[in-house]
């Protein structure tokens, strides 16, 4: 049995050792190169064919080599997590989930910013304006600006309506509305 193993992941060939692939005994990669349970097609060079994204395989293989998760700043942790789950690499799955939870916690600790708008309207428009405010906007205050004027025989009072909305800072510095999506955890 050869010490070196060739893997063709999504068209990109990786070369590593059986020892590296078997750092996680229960992983797909260890089982693949042991050859007992999993049978896999091979390319013309004898490399195991794996139909996965090679972009995310590099960090997986490097984790098996040295036990650390090292990502380039443009690589999505969620993508590496997806691959770690596919390859069944438990310690890496835990590391990435912890990082993602920490990132979520940090983002949620930033206090929201309040944006205010002042809208001017006439008395007859007031009910419609308040009832048709878009999602996220909240009524704050109504100020009678006291300028009655005559439109024919009708007196119209003008109001200033103050509304607000909370905006949350995201990691990239842009503001967004709060997310009410539920997170599903295994």
Q: Which fold has domain 4-108?
A: Potassium Channel Kv1.1; Chain A (3.30.710)
In this chain, the answer to whether the domains covering 4-108 and 113-176 adopt an identical fold is no
HEC per residue, 103-172:
HHHHHHCCCCEEEEEEEEEEHHHHHHHHHCCCCCCEEEEEEECCCCEEECCEEECEEEEEEEEEEEECCC
CATH of domain 113-176: 3.30.70.2000
Extents of the domains making up the chain: 4-108, 113-176
| CA 31-32-35 angle, 5° bins | 85
Nearest to 58 by CA among 49, 47, 41, 71: 71
pTM of the entire predicted model: 0.56
Nearest to 112 by CA among 170, 180, 183, 182: 170
Query: What span, in angstroms and rounded, lies between the C-alpha atoms of 84 and 92?
Result: 7
Query: What span, in angstroms and rounded, lies between the C-alpha atoms of 84 and 64?
Result: 11
Going residue by residue through the chain, which has 186 residues, state the pLDDT in tens, using 9 for 90 and above.
Answer: 569 999 999 999 999 999 999 999 999 999 888 876 567 788 999 899 999 999 999 999 999 999 999 898 889 999 999 999 999 999 999 999 999 888 876 666 667 788 888 888 888 888 888 778 777 888 888 888 876 555 555 667 888 888 898 887 655 555 555 444 444 444
């Amino acid at each position: 049995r050869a010490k070196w193993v060739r893997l063709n992941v999504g068209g990109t060939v990786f070369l590593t050792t059986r020892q590296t692939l078997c750092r996680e005994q229960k992983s797909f990669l260890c089982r693949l190169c042991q050859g007992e349970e999993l049978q896999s097609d091979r390319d013309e060079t004898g490399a195991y064919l794996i139909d996965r994204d090679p972009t995310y395989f590099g960090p997986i293989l490097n984790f098996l080599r040295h036990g650390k998760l090292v990502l380039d700043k443009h690589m999505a942790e969620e993508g590496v997590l997806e691959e770690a789950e596919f390859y069944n690499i438990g310690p890496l799955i835990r590391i990435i989930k912890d990082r993602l939870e920490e990132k979520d916690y940090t983002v949620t600790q930033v206090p929201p910013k309040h944006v205010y708008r002042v809208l001017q309207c006439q008395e007859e428009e007031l009910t419609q304006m308040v009832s048709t405010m878009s999602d996220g906007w909240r009524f704050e205050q109504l100020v009678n600006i006291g300028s009655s004027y005559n439109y024919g025989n009708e007196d119209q009072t003008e109001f200033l309506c103050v509304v607000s909305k909370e905006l949350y800072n995201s990691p990239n510095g842009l503001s967004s509305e709060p997310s009410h999506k539920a997170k599903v955890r295994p």
